[in-house]
Amino acid sequence: MSSKLRLNKYIASSGICSRRKADELIENGYVNVNGKTIKELGYLISEKDKVFVEGKLIHPLKHEYYKFYKPAGYITTADDEKGRKTIYDILPEELKKLKPAGRLDKDSTGLLILTNDGDLINELTHPSVKIPKIYHVTVDGFVTEANINKMAEGFEIETGKMAYADVQILERTKKATSMEITLYQGLNRQIRKMFDFLGFQVVSLKRIQHATITLEGLKRGEFKPIKPKQIKELKIFLSRSIN
C-alpha cells in the first residue's frame, strides 16, 4: 500500500466484511488504529499503520476470484442446520474460504462467482444496484405474450415485494417454453415464484451470466479462476452501474 487508503476500504480488503459493514464497525467504535479508537468514516491510513477490528489485527488479503458451475442438489451456503448438501461439499479445500456473490437455490444450476473480495460481493448483490443476471429457464406449458408482458410490467410475489423480469423466448411449444430471462433484482426464488403465480412449473433453471461474467468454458461442477482482465472489466462495469 504505497499511498493513503480509506480505513473502510482497508478493512474490506481484509476479507472480513464489505465496505458498508466496515462503516458500521467504525461508527460503533470497534476499530482501532495504532492504539486509538477511530470513528471517522473518511479516516486515511498508510502501510505503516496497524489496524485492529474487535481487538484482532487485520491485514489485506490477496483477492481471489473464481467462477463455478453449480450443479443441482446443492445449496449455496457454508453449512446447513438441516444437513443438506452444500456447494462446499464439492469445492476443493483452497476454495472453501471464498464466498459466493449471491445464491442459487438447491434445484437451480449455473454460474456462481466465488471471492474473498467483500466489496465486490456487496456491489454485485446490494439491492440498490441494478446488476443484470441472465438465466436460461424452461417451464411446462405455452408461455404467451401476455405472460411475458405481465412479467415485464411486474407484479407482487410476496406482500410488499414487486418482481420484474425481461423475457426472451428461445423455443416454444404447447408442452414447454424455453426462455432467456434477465433479472435486475435479487428476490428469493424470484423466477420460480413468478412462474408459480402465472400457473407454470419450472422444469429447469440455469444462470448463465452475472454482470459481465459468463458460464462459458465450464462444465457442470467445474470451476476456474476469473482472468485479471475480466475482473478489471467487471469492476469498470460495476462502477458505471453504481454511479
Residues labelled catalytic? 105
The set of cell numbers assigned to 168 is 426472451
**Cell numbers that stand for 28 in this block:** 460503533
Q: What are phi and psi of 31, to 5 degrees?
A: -115, 130
Q: What DSSP string runs through the chain?
A: --S-EEHHHHHHHTTSS-HHHHHHHHHTT-EEETTEE---TT-EE-TT--EEETTEE--PPPP-EEEEEEPTT-BSSS--TT---BGGGTS-GGGTT-EESS---TT-EEEEEEES-HHHHHHHH-TTS---EEEEEEEES---HHHHHHHHH-EEEETTEEE--EEEEEEE-SSEEEEEEEES---TTHHHHHHHHHT--EEEEEEEEETTEE-TT--TT-EEEPPHHHHHHHHHHHHHHH-
Q: Are 11 and 51 in contact (CB under 8 A)?
A: yes
